Structure 1
Amino acid sequence: MLRISSLIRLTVGFSCLGDFVHAADLYFPTDTVWETIDPGSAGWDVNGLEELLEFAREQRSTGIVILQNGRILAERYWEIKRRSKDSIDRLGMMTSGFTSDGQSIEDVASVQKSVVAFLAGVAEGKGLIDLQEPVSKYLGEGWSKSSPEQEIAITVKHLLSMSTGLSESLEHMGDADKIWMYNTPAYSQSIGVLEVATSENLNDLTAKWLTTQIGMHDSKWWDRPWTNSSASSSVGFTTSALDLARFGLMILAEGKWNDEDLLGNPTFIRRALSPSQSINESYGYLWWLNGGETVGGGRNNTKMRRGPLIPSAPKDLVAAQGLLNRKCYVVPSLALVVSRLGDEPPVGRNFNEKFWGMLIKASRG
Structure 2
Amino acid sequence: MKKTGWAILLALCCIGGYLVLPSNYYLRRALIHLLPEIDQYPIFENRTVKAGNPQPWPESKAYNKLSVPEKFQPVFEDLGTVAFVIIKDSTLLFEQYWEDYSPHSRSNSFSMAKSIVSLAIGCAIDDGFIKNVDQPVNDFYPEFKGYNGKALTLRHLLTMSAGVDFDEAYSSPFSPTTKLYYGDDLQQIALGMKEIEEPGIHFIYQSGVTQLLALIVEKATGENISSYVSRKLWTPLNAEEDALWSLDKKDGIEKAYCCFNSNARDFARFGQLILNKGNWNGKQLVSESYIKEATTPDTNLIFKEYNETNHCYGFQFWHLTYKDMEIPYMRGILGQYVFAIPKLNAVVVRLGHKRSDTRTAQHYPDDIDTWLGAAIEIIQKSTNNQRESE
The two structures have a TM-score, normalised by structure 1, of 0.71
Residue in structure 1 matching 2:98, options 74, 78, 87: 78
Corresponding residue of 2:208: 185
Corresponding residue of 2:243: 219
State the alpha-carbon separation in 2 of the partners of residues 137 and 149 from structure 1. 15
Q: What are the residue-to-residue correspondences of 1:260-299 with 2, within 5 Å?
A: 260-263=283-286, 265-278=287-300, 279=302, 280-291=310-321
Residue in structure 2 matching 1:68, options 71, 78, 88: 88
Structure 1 residues 319 and 165, CA gap change in structure 2 (3 angstroms): same
Q: Once the 2 structures are TM-superposed, how far is the Cα of residue 63 of structure 1 from its aligned partner?
A: 0.8
Structure 1 residues 137 and 211, CA gap change in structure 2 (3 angstroms): same
Residue in structure 1 matching 2:79, options 59, 62, 66: 59
Q: Is the 8 A contact 2:87 2:347 kept in 1?
A: yes
Q: Is the 8 A contact 1:64 1:76 kept in 2?
A: yes
Structure 1 residues 238 and 138, CA gap change in structure 2 (3 angstroms): same
Identity of aligned residues (%): 24
Structure 1 residues 240 and 261, CA gap change in structure 2 (3 angstroms): same
State the alpha-carbon separation in 2 of the partners of residues 331 and 66 from structure 1. 11
Residue in structure 1 matching 2:61, options 32, 37, 59: 37
Corresponding residue of 2:107: 106
Structure 1 residues 358 and 62, CA gap change in structure 2 (3 angstroms): closer
Residue in structure 1 matching 2:370, options 339, 354, 358: 354
For residues 284-311 of structure 1, the C-alpha deviation after alignment (integer angstroms, 9 at most, x for no partner) is: 10000113xxxxxxxxxxxxxxxxxxxx
Corresponding residue of 1:161: 159
Structure 1 residues 233 and 112, CA gap change in structure 2 (3 angstroms): closer
Q: Is the 8 A contact 2:59 2:93 kept in 1?
A: no
State the alpha-carbon separation in 1 of the partners of residues 213 and 247 from structure 2. 17
What SS is found at the alignment partner of 1:221? strand
What is the letter of the counterpart of residue 153 of structure 1? A
State the alpha-carbon separation in 2 of the partners of residues 128 and 3 from structure 1. 23
Q: Is the 8 A contact 2:147 2:197 kept in 1?
A: no
State the alpha-carbon separation in 1 of the partners of residues 356 and 292 from structure 2. 34
Q: Is the 8 A contact 1:163 1:179 kept in 2?
A: yes
Q: Show structure 2 runs of 5+ residues with no match.
A: 1-47, 168-192, 303-309, 359-364, 382-390
Q: Once the 2 structures are TM-superposed, how far is the Cα of residue 257 of structure 1 from its aligned partner?
A: 1.2
Q: What are the residue-to-residue correspondences of 1:1-365 with 2, within 5 Å?
A: 31-32=55-56, 34-38=58-62, 46=66, 49=69, 51-52=71-72, 55-79=75-99, 103-129=104-130, 130-139=132-141, 141-143=142-144, 149-150=147-148, 153-168=151-166, 170-216=193-239, 217-223=241-247, 236-263=259-286, 265-278=287-300, 279=302, 280-291=310-321, 312-345=322-355, 349-365=365-381
What SS is found at the alignment partner of 1:35? coil
Q: Show structure 1 runs of 5+ residues with no match.
A: 5-28, 81-97, 292-311
Q: Is the 8 A contact 1:329 1:338 kept in 2?
A: yes
Structure 1 residues 249 and 54, CA gap change in structure 2 (3 angstroms): farther
What is the letter of the counterpart of residue 93 of structure 2? L
Q: Once the 2 structures are TM-superposed, how far is the Cα of residue 270 of structure 1 from its aligned partner?
A: 0.7
Corresponding residue of 1:86: none
Structure 1 residues 137 and 338, CA gap change in structure 2 (3 angstroms): same
For residues 145-176 of structure 1, the C-alpha deviation after alignment (integer angstroms, 9 at most, x for no partner) is: xx655486110011000011112063334211
Q: Once the 2 structures are TM-superposed, how far is the Cα of residue 336 of structure 1 from its aligned partner?
A: 1.0
Structure 1 residues 355 and 151, CA gap change in structure 2 (3 angstroms): farther
State the alpha-carbon separation in 2 of the partners of residues 324 and 236 from structure 1. 12
Q: Is the 8 A contact 1:59 1:347 kept in 2?
A: no
Structure 1 residues 251 and 135, CA gap change in structure 2 (3 angstroms): same
Name the structure where helix makes up a greater proportion of residues.
Answer: 2
Q: Once the 2 structures are TM-superposed, how far is the Cα of residue 256 of structure 1 from its aligned partner?
A: 1.2
Q: Once the 2 structures are TM-superposed, how far is the Cα of residue 49 of structure 1 from its aligned partner?
A: 4.1
Q: Max radius of gyration: which structure? A: 2
Structure 1 residues 234 and 333, CA gap change in structure 2 (3 angstroms): closer
Q: Once the 2 structures are TM-superposed, how far is the Cα of residue 220 of structure 1 from its aligned partner?
A: 3.2
For residues 216-260 of structure 1, the C-alpha deviation after alignment (integer angstroms, 9 at most, x for no partner) is: 2332312268x9x79977862111101101221122111111111
What is the letter of the counterpart of residue 62 of structure 2? D
For residues 162-199 of structure 1, the C-alpha deviation after alignment (integer angstroms, 9 at most, x for no partner) is: 01111206333421111110011122110011001100
State the alpha-carbon separation in 2 of the partners of residues 200 and 230 from structure 1. 11
Structure 1 residues 51 and 30, CA gap change in structure 2 (3 angstroms): farther
State the alpha-carbon separation in 1 of the partners of residues 258 and 356 from structure 2. 27
State the alpha-carbon separation in 2 of the partners of residues 148 and 364 from structure 1. 50
